[in-house]
Structure 1
Amino acid sequence: MSETRITTTNQARKPHHVHAVSELPKSLLVRPPFTSSSRSNTNRQLAYGFCPECNDLNTYYDWCSSCIYYNYISSNAVWTSGDRLLDKFIREAQRQAVSRHNFIEWIPFLRFENVTYLHGGALGDVYEAVWSDGYPQAWDYDNQKFMRYNNTKVVLKFIETPSNGVSEWFLNKIRGYIEWHQNSGDRYIIHCYGVTQDPDTQNYALVLEHAADGSLRQYYTNNRSELNWEDKLNILHMIINGLRTLHSAGILHGNLHTANILQIGNIPHISDIGLCNTADSTCTNRLFGVLPFIAPEVMLTKSYTRAADVYSFGMVLWELSTGAIPHADCPHDEQLAIAICRGLRPPITDTIPSCVATIIRRCWDGNPSNRPSVEELENIIWAWYEDVSEESGTKIAMEFKKSDALRERMLRALRGKGEGRESRSWSRWRNKRGKTVEGKLHCHPLAVYKSRVMVFPGLEEWINGKENEEAKNIGGKEDGNVKVKTNERGENDKKMKAIDGGKNNKIDSGETNKNSDGLDNGKGMKELSVKGPQNTDGVVDSGTRKKTNNLTRDKETPHKTEFSLSFGDIASSVLFKHRHH
């Protein structure tokens, strides 16, 4: 991305009141008060300095919210999105913006070049493009326009728009980005630059920051040989810090998973905010997201809470701890949903440090009230990071060091540089399971890691069935909208046994545990341990198309995607088995 900035001089600034603004509504000319309470005037003076036009304290670096708003609407008075509700929303957001990070614009579609199709989504298609103007950096008081980073690469996330105009849900998506930046500045969240509209389809799109390094899942796969526990804890702390800021602002995420945590360098940025906008709002009455990351109480009630975000974070923590993908060996269907509601979780392997395993179990607890808060998680992960980075020699630090040493041994085995029984054991394990030399692992063809709307009649029947009071009267403390069962410690690490026509089929996710009441709801349950290819969110390359006169959209092409083999799976079946021989 090339950076082009308009330079300014130190000459005297013209007073802002000389602009001809008689054509603007008076309501838009009221100077917005500075609303941030996170900094005292002294701190702001030291950090941000003074506005060169009004001599008041800046609200951010090179940013005086009142002057910029007043000058911007003076020079950009005539524009419309074509939707009165959206126009009002954008103008109000501009009025309240205290920095460039929560300033949004209406961006004409003609300002985008090289519009290229990336992939389809449940809510609309996703494109990448080059925004010729670029996002604003600071206000040029002499030329009365923004200094911008020209030719900025962006992502256009289209939302299928109803014929009667934008919906409140669409505005909530934008509001989620804005309010988070209002509280967190530029930390750990993808920027929303504004809104545009495809003139051919009439669909609106969010204009979002482009993440050059892909999703967290891609980043881990591409850099797994370099990422140790210190690196992973640093990433996890930034993620939970962003989630804490979100919850502090009263906003839920509602769809947190490793494919919508995007990497810019080594910094994670959370995207796809605001399935439900606020923690006390009534959320959409549907099941949406990636099934393995959805908390069981959400499946039961279709209502989201802060605790549901914590459950999803527990899956992110597990994926970074093991290098594996949750529930990758079975279809993501209503039978898996029922199994999750009954307590099925991915395996906690011996390769995960015990302190991390404990936190993962707490995040996955069937009773939402037993899960840790994001504040507690942030403190715990930061304490771990300090122990590891300072090489304190504590028991916890030694656990992480031991896990890193095991990781190095597995890397040597994967590269064929191991010696003796370790290398031979890896070779036997690999050949026994029919894996390739590179150590790739196929996922089930019906394992879907792409956000989608899910309709599971069997799950609803299981919840509402008279013979299944289990879903309605599960023991445990009530938390918000649902009562859920509290499993005994470690119970989630055991396999649940499926019953299919009297035959016992294993769910391949850890030690075997016989489930006396079954998982079939009296109908039988399909085997959940079939291996195969898989489609994934954020990793799918469903074809690239350039924009010509309109945005043509292709159906996604089925394909096979391979994922790197889990160190946890390898180590559990090879090294620890070998250690006890």
Structure 2
Amino acid sequence: MSIYYAWCQTCDPLKTTQAWTSGNKDVDDCIKKFQLKATSYKNVIEWIPFNKLDNVQKIGEGGFGSVFSATWLDGKRAVPKDEWALTLTQSRTPSCVVALKTLPGSQKNFLKEVEIIHLFYNIEKLVYGITQNTTNDEYLMVFQYANKGSLHEFLLSNFRELNWKSKLKQLVDISKNLIKLHEAEYIHRDFHSDDSIYGVLPYVAPEVLIERLYTLASDIYSFGIIMTEVSTGKPPHYKVEYDEILAIKICNGLRPEFAKGTPECYIQLANKCMEANPSNRPNAYDIRKNLLEWFNILDRDVAYDKNELTILKAFKSADEIIPTLSTELPDYSKDKLTSKLLNFKNLSEPINSSSAELPKIYG
């Protein structure tokens, strides 16, 4: 028995696979696969009967499927901390709010998505289980409810309070997750089938818009776009419509701006990620290596050589400029960041335009 986790690795995993069924062998096998791998009571994925979910409300929709909020009547698994107890006990919280996510397409595709969740077990508990809507037989994943909103909303709300050390920490964490996905040869993208491409236009790599083919390098392009958003606190190309005209410009080398004062090393890495030629983009390991190196320099606030001193000074200088930057979004609609079907014609072969090769700065 593990006292810390209130978990017996010998007997508890097997117990969790018993006395329940979803009514579908494939779904049961998928859930039990992860239950047998569980290393703590709180990290067990469950089959959650739909009648245990109350007040189901749609909160989002796009090419990726639909997202709902709901109250889980049973509550999530918990191990109460009692300093006087000799051992920890297995328990549950009171009812709690969770998020439900559907996926368009077949059950096989849904289970493929579920297969990815074990990659994040060592990071945080993201997924509680699987359920099935009894009105339409659609399967849904039951997630931790993130009431802080998206990265975009977080940046808008906290931009002037975030220094570059905090920004780099966010990107280091994202790149760590991306590495795990790439190690599993899984591309972190919106779901698509056949020749249909879904996504938010500025985040989609130009080769995907043309060839309808995702690769690991397509993820790297999207990461580069996120780097520009972390720099400015604003969505990419927010001043224009996300339409075919923008798609044409992206293929011709248009890239988002960076905020005034953004360190040159940061701009160069982001631009490499957004290279028109996928083979010229860095991999997730190299990206994280650079970001982590910069974060560590800022974290210890000490430079050990001239190169580190240059990096430290650049990010310190950038911190001083952050309070002067504008975070206003005139005439901006949140619907622009909703995943949509992308089906554009007459797109040219992606290039790096001469202007795109130079860092773009806004004040």
TM-score, normalised to structure 1, is 0.55
Structure 1 residues 344-383: Cα deviation after superposition (integer angstroms, max 9, x where no partner): 1113454321111111110101111111111111111111
Match of 1:405 in 2: 320
Gaps of 5+ in 1: 1-49, 53-59, 140-144, 256-274, 277-282, 415-437, 464-469, 472-483, 495-509, 511-567, 572-581
Match of 1:176 in 2: 116
Structure 1 residues 53-73: Cα deviation after superposition (integer angstroms, max 9, x where no partner): xxxxxxx93334441122223
Match of 2:152 in 1: 217
Query: For residues 334 and 203 of structure 2, what CA distance do their matches in structure 1 show?
Result: 16
Deviation, structure 1 residue 129 = 1.6
Query: Size of the alignment, in residue pairs?
Result: 350
Q: Aligned ranges for residues 391-430 of structure 1 at < 5 Å?
A: 391-392=301-302, 394-408=309-323, 410=324
Residue identity in the other structure for 1:169? N
Name which of 288, 301, 321 aligns with 2:198. Answer: 288
Query: For residues 205 and 291 of structure 1, what CA distance do their matches in structure 2 show?
Result: 26
Q: Aligned ranges for residues 521-540 of structure 1 at < 5 Å?
A: none
Deviation, structure 1 residue 214 = 1.3
Query: For residues 254 and 325 of structure 1, what CA distance do their matches in structure 2 show?
Result: 18
Residue pair 1:363, 1:371 contacting (<8 A) in 2 also: yes
Cα RMSD, aligned residues only: 2.9
Q: Aligned ranges for residues 299-314 of structure 1 at < 5 Å?
A: 299-314=209-224
Match of 2:83 in 1: none
Query: For residues 206 and 287 of structure 1, what CA distance do their matches in structure 2 show?
Result: 22
Match of 2:306 in 1: none
Structure 1 residues 28-55: Cα deviation after superposition (integer angstroms, max 9, x where no partner): xxxxxxxxxxxxxxxxxxxxxx558xxx
Residue pair 2:156, 2:234 contacting (<8 A) in 1 also: no
Query: For residues 490 and 146 of structure 1, what CA distance do their matches in structure 2 show?
Result: 60
Larger Rg: 1
Query: For residues 331 and 446 of structure 1, what CA distance do their matches in structure 2 show?
Result: 12
Identity of aligned residues (%): 31
Deviation, structure 1 residue 316 = 0.8
Query: For residues 250 and 31 of structure 2, what CA distance do their matches in structure 1 show?
Result: 41
Structure 1 residues 271-316: Cα deviation after superposition (integer angstroms, max 9, x where no partner): xxxx48xxxxxx7542111110011111122222221111111111
Gaps of 5+ in 2: 81-88, 304-308
Name which of 116, 120, 125 aligns with 2:57. Answer: 116
Determine which structure has the larger helix proportion and give its number: 2
Query: For residues 41 and 205 of structure 2, what CA distance do their matches in structure 1 show?
Result: 35
Residue pair 2:209, 2:342 contacting (<8 A) in 1 also: no
Deviation, structure 1 residue 439 = 4.3
Deviation, structure 1 residue 253 = 0.8
Residue pair 2:231, 2:258 contacting (<8 A) in 1 also: no
Structure 1 residues 325-361: Cα deviation after superposition (integer angstroms, max 9, x where no partner): 1121222222322221221111345432111111111
TM-score, normalised to structure 2, is 0.85
Residue 79 in structure 1 maps to residue 79 in structure 2: no
Deviation, structure 1 residue 450 = 0.8
Deviation, structure 1 residue 490 = 5.8
Q: Call closer, same or farther: CA 1:391–1:146 in 2, change over 3 Å.
A: closer
Q: Aligned ranges for residues 365-444 of structure 1 at < 5 Å?
A: 365-392=275-302, 394-408=309-323, 410=324, 439-443=328-332
Query: For residues 310 and 90 of structure 1, what CA distance do their matches in structure 2 show?
Result: 31
Residue pair 1:348, 1:493 contacting (<8 A) in 2 also: no
Residue identity in the other structure for 1:150? P
Query: For residues 72 and 103 of structure 1, what CA distance do their matches in structure 2 show?
Result: 8
Query: For residues 281 and 63 of structure 2, what CA distance do their matches in structure 1 show?
Result: 30
Structure 1 residues 154-212: Cα deviation after superposition (integer angstroms, max 9, x where no partner): 10123457xxxx5211111111213x13xx5134xx61211112222322211011113
Query: For residues 350 and 138 of structure 1, what CA distance do their matches in structure 2 show?
Result: 47
Higher alpha-carbon deviation: 152-161 or 395-404: 152-161
Query: For residues 357 and 123 of structure 1, what CA distance do their matches in structure 2 show?
Result: 30
Identify which of structures 1 and 2 has the higher relative contact order when contacts are C-alpha pairs closer than 8 Å and 6+ apart: 2
Residue 186 in structure 1 maps to residue 123 in structure 2: yes
Residue pair 1:101, 1:186 contacting (<8 A) in 2 also: no
Match of 1:251 in 2: 186
Deviation, structure 1 residue 488 = 6.9
Q: Call closer, same or farther: CA 1:446–1:68 in 2, change over 3 Å.
A: closer
